[in-house]
Structure 1
Amino acid sequence: MERIEDILEESIIAIIPIYDKGNGTNIITMENSHIEYKRVRTVLRRICNEYALHLSAFRRRYGKVINKRLGIPIVINEELILVPFKTRKPKFQNDGAYGYVNFHFVKDIVEDGRHTKLIMENGHEIQVLQRIHSVKRDFNNVKLILNENTKKNPMSYEFGQVATVDHIGRLYMEIMELKRMIKEMK
């Protein structure tokens, strides 16, 4: 397998299971396409390991937020949010059916009969074996997870965003608590 850190530098837009000389994975980036002769699950684990993240912990934590056990989006960082979609019918028992699409690189969602087509920022089209309402629901789940993430970690806001009265109030309380702690230390 190519060094995963090299692939991550290219901005991953999708991780799709394929049959090419056996069961493999197509990692689609903005610039290239990388064929790996590993299962999608293995590729995901390697990506998570690169960021020191635990895949099962993601699924447990965010599954509770969206009230699902399977098909949980994986938030690696702000630029890499992977949403699972059924992209093929497996031929054999342990072949995965689900691929992952980076939430930020989906340009358009198009109904394609009983299925859906995702148009990516680089022009790549990904056939999803799900109805359009199911795909849109999965994208809304990402928004719920991101909203929950910012609630649990208010410091995850980017600089330059508008601060609400609630944010300022929390900051004021934290500053006052720090001042109190400093006084006690003297």
Structure 2
Amino acid sequence: MRWFPSEPPGFSRGEAQESGGNYTEVWFERGERLVDPRRVKTVVRALAGVFSQDPRLLRKRYAKTAGTDKAIPLPLREDFVLVPIKTRTAWHKDHGTCGYVVLSKVVSYEAVEEGEFRSRIYFSNGMVLKSLWRIDTVRNKFHQAEDVQKEYRRLYLVKSTPRELREYLPAGKLVYIIDERQASG
């Protein structure tokens, strides 16, 4: 799936702007598209809620890992990381410019010069999304998403044996390892 800001089908830019223009177009893996009348931010918040996540807390938690406090990738699950991609210019304040793509569904990206678009992102189902970001920025966002995914795994998918656990523990920190066999005896 991909989420990005959109005008409703059949609307001109002026009509969409007049009606608020903050719609979300959702692309599904089989090629279907759905227009949701809510803003991307609202759709992402609702989706995150399905996974008992809060996008604001995720942004705060992963800002350091991503090395930025703007457009931070959102890990909703280990294999479901949303990567922010700039897909349009803002018409007014609070008019979202970024949508999200699912990291595991992206197969490649390339630089282009098509009007205001500077890059294209290719998905495993053959769909293509154009972005306003230059290829360096797109590449950086995907690297950030991979780093965030690794940090998510480190935080939530810890190995269970003490020997395996050591490689995931931060150096110089005091950590108590409770062996289940000793704790129950």
Match of 2:183?
Answer: 181
C-alpha contact (below 8 Å) 1:150/1:156 kept by paired residues: no
Match of 1:160?
Answer: none
Paired residues for 1:95-110 under 5 Å: 95-110=95-110
Q: CA deviation at 1:150?
A: 2.3
TM-score, normalized by length of structure 1? 0.78
- The answer to whether 1:24 aligns with 2:26 is no
State the distance in 2 between where 1:168 and 1:59 align: 26
State the distance in 1 between where 2:158 and 2:96 align: 36
Match of 1:8?
Answer: none
Q: CA deviation at 1:47?
A: 0.3
Partner of 1:76, secondary structure, is strand
Residue 179 of structure 1 aligns to which amino acid in structure 2? R
Match of 2:66?
Answer: 66
What is the aligned-residue RMSD (CA, Å)? 2.4
C-alpha contact (below 8 Å) 1:90/1:96 kept by paired residues: yes
Over 3 Å counting, the alpha-carbon distance change for 1:18 and 1:86 in structure 2 is same
Q: CA deviation at 1:93?
A: 2.2
Partner of 1:151, secondary structure, is helix
Paired residues for 1:18-167 under 5 Å: 18-20=6-8, 21=16, 22-31=21-30, 32-113=32-113, 115-155=118-158, 166-167=163-164
Partner of 2:94, secondary structure, is coil
* Runs of 5+ consecutive residues of structure 1 not aligned to the other structure: 1-11, 158-162
Deviations 1:58-111 (A, max 9, x none): 000001212211110011113321100110012232221001011111122011
How many residue pairs match? The answer is: 162
Residue 27 of structure 1 aligns to which amino acid in structure 2? V
TM-score, normalized by length of structure 2? 0.78
Structure with greater contact order relative to length (CA < 8 Å, sep ≥ 6): 2
Residue 131 of structure 1 aligns to which amino acid in structure 2? R
Q: CA deviation at 1:23?
A: 2.3
Select the structure that is richer in helix. 1
* Runs of 5+ consecutive residues of structure 2 not aligned to the other structure: 9-15, 168-175
